[in-house]
Amino acid sequence: MKGGEPLFIDKGSEVGLLLLHGFTSTPHQFRELSKFLVDRGFTVYSPLIAGHGTSPKEMSKTTGEDWAKSAEEALHHLRRYVRRVVIVGNSFGGNLAFWLAHRYPDLVSGIVSLGTPIKLRAHLFLLMRTYTYGLFMTYHRKSGREYKVDYIDLSDQVSYPVIPIRCLREFFRFIRTRTIPTLESVTTPTLMIQADQDPVVHPKSAPYIHQHLGSNHKKMYWLNGRYHNLPDSDRREEIFHKVDEFIQELEKEAA
């Protein structure tokens, strides 16, 4: 998909930022955040997760294992260029970030979780849909008008208009089997940013992560408003500066 290509900019910094995009989206959603971070001298890498940025048909061939493997390969690639890695995960990218911190605690210095889901606004409805008449469907069409919920902000056009039902099941399975059971083992410093009226992710998700996360260094920052794709919201400058402050804080602790 044009505009959804991976992004890598090496600034020769000790700290590198691994930017993990959301479910069915692409690195395009980090276009402004990546520029902000590069301008501050950080090496930035935003990979394309398996099955994304191509076609829904290609995505339907992938699983949670493939998505996790993509994130792991990206982490190892970035580590070749920097000494420390801070991961910024947008939406489902946050689930991948917590998985990486669980699997490779010595390789991840910090996590910024942007609207990471534990529970969706229409969680039960979507679960029932995928395991009832969704069994006879190939795709779930994203439409805020029809289903009251969308998986990304409609302003981000470099994404899929539909979700393979098979992948929607994998999405729920990933949260159930890889995110929730491993949060207590994650001791990585974490900043959680969540909009209190997020139309996609239930606002209970952030407090759940905060409560169950094993880290002693964890902060929550609430945004008042109806936002999901935070790096592309009208509050992005505020969010970018919070991310920068968190990185600087980690750097002082590492010094």
pLDDT of residue 49: 97
E strand or H helix that includes residue 110 = strand 110-114
- For 192, how many CA atoms within 13 A lie in the half-sphere containing its CB? 27
Q: How far apart are alpha carbons 107 and 86 in whole angstroms?
A: 9
pLDDT for the residue numbered 139:
80
Strands, E assignment, 123-243? 139-141, 162-164, 190-195, 218-223
Distance (Å, whole) CA 74 – CA 30: 16
Domains observed in the chain? 7-254 (3.40.50.1820)
R_g of the chain, CA atoms, integer Å:
17
In single-letter form, the type of residue at position 247 comes to: I
Looking up tokens 């994650």 gives 186
Check whether 55 has a pLDDT greater than 60: yes
pLDDT at 58 over 50: yes
Lowest mean pLDDT among 62-76, 94-108, 230-244: 230-244
| Spatial separation of the C-alpha atoms in residues 146 and 144, rounded to whole Å | 6
> Coil, helix or strand for 111?
strand
pLDDT in tens, 138-167: 887 765 533 333 333 334 457 888 889 999
User: What's the pTM value of the predicted model, to 2 decimals?
Assistant: 0.91
